Amino acid sequence: MTSTASISPSSNKTRIRRLFERLRAEGRPALIGYLTAGDPSLERTPSLVAALERGGVDLIELGVPFSDPIADGPVIQRASERALRAGAVFRRVLEVAAEIRRRSEAPLLLFSYLNPVLRYGLEAAARDAARAGADGFLLTDLCVEEAERYLTALRAERLDTVFLAAPTSTPARLELVARHSSGFVYLVSRTGVTGERAALSEAVEPLIRAMRRITDLPLAVGFGISRPEHAAALAPLADGIVVGSAFVRLIERLGGEASLEGELEAFARSLRRACER
């Protein structure tokens, strides 16, 4: 096992950190929206991101598609398949990120798996992501215990490293996640894969309390958050609320229709209103 004891978060204030500081002062959580880059096309992805921003999304998780997305449910799996068919390899996703950055100052978190990053080259991925205007990475299948080289590469480029904590995480794992995350900690609301759910998991509040005891980092909750009432229930508890599959399902349903951006904006606005404490 590789030790991560010597790798500590950098002290620079990234866009992600500045966002959470501002929202903490305003007394509301961040609304975080996930999209799979390249679905329905690479060319249209910046327009979809802009629609989410107009609707009140504060931080964008830009999904880098992968052929074996084991942490994702069927909605995002299908989006990854569509995006890969559209040519959304890591290099092209960075081009999309750069186009988004030319239009927007919203924080951009690259959300993917370890394989596409390793194939590109870890140090090159960190360097080129920073040049494209990305603010950090979240790799769902990267164990924090094995992340020393990853942490070193991203810290060198002043990128945030967001790790996952789950209801099944041991106290030792929670400590490691808290120690090596920067920007925020992503709390998985339930065991299993991403996807829309009818109700919030009862495991959310105990997990939030456990992480609050060991870190001052912002805590964002995702997996299964898909309705305004979910956002309203989480707003008093979490610093960030992550919605992914519900946005991606809209994209799947409307595809290339001209109404897509308007529908995304309207749904985002309903979530944003629910986040107001």
Q: Clarify whether 61 is annotated catalytic.
A: yes
CA dihedral (186, 243, 134, 277) in degrees, to 10, reads -80
Residue that the structure tokens 């996952």 belong to = 164
Q: Which of 39, 53, 58, 72 is catalytic?
A: 72
Q: Which of 39, 53, 61, 239 is catalytic?
A: 61
Residue that the structure tokens 């950090």 belong to = 136
Q: Which long-range contacts (CB under 8 A, 24 or more apart) does 162-167 make?
A: 162/109, 162/136, 162/137, 162/138, 162/186, 163/138, 164/138, 164/140, 164/188, 165/207, 165/211, 166/191, 166/207, 167/191, 167/201, 167/203, 167/206, 167/207
Cβ neighbour number for residue 184 with a 10 Å cutoff: 29
- CA distance linking residue 143 with residue 204, whole number of Å: 21
Q: Clarify whether 39 is annotated catalytic.
A: no
Active site residues: 61, 72
